[in-house]
Structure 1
Amino acid sequence: MAINELITLGIIGLAAGIIGGMTGLGGGAIVIPALVYFMGVSQHQAIGTNLFMMLPPIGVMATWSFYKAGHVNVKYAIVLMIAFVIGSYIASLFAVNIPEKMMKKIFGGFLIIVALKMILGK
Structure 2
Amino acid sequence: MDLQTLVILLLTGLTAGMLGGFIGVGGGIIVVPAMIYFLGMNQFQAQGTSLAMMLPPIGILAVMNYYKAEAVDMRAAMILAGAFIIGGYLGSRYSLRLDPNKVKLAFGIFMLLVAVRMTWNAWKSLNT
Cα deviation for residue 18 of structure 1 reads: 0.7
Where in structure 2 are the equivalents of 1:21-100 lying within 5 Å? 21-58=21-58, 60-100=60-100
Deviations 1:13-53 (CA, angstroms, capped at 9, x unpaired) = 11111111100000100000000000000100000000000
Matches of 1:59 and 1:11, distance apart in 2: 17
TM-score, length basis structure 1: 0.95
- 2:21–2:59: 8 Å Cα contact kept in structure 1? no
Deviations 1:87-113 (CA, angstroms, capped at 9, x unpaired) = 111111101111111011000000000
Give the match for residue 3 of structure 1. Answer: 3
**Deviating more after overlay: 83-92 vs 106-115:** 83-92
Name structure 2 gaps, 5 residues minimum.
none
**Deviating more after overlay: 105-114 vs 80-89:** 80-89
- 2:44–2:96: 8 Å Cα contact kept in structure 1? yes
Q: CA RMSD in A?
A: 1.1
Name structure 1 gaps, 5 residues minimum.
none
SS in 2 for 1:56: coil
Matches of 1:90 and 1:4, distance apart in 2: 35
Identity %, equivalent residues: 43
Matches of 1:59 and 1:22, distance apart in 2: 11
Give the match for residue 13 of structure 2. Answer: 13
Larger-Rg structure: 2
Give the match for residue 117 of structure 1. Answer: 117
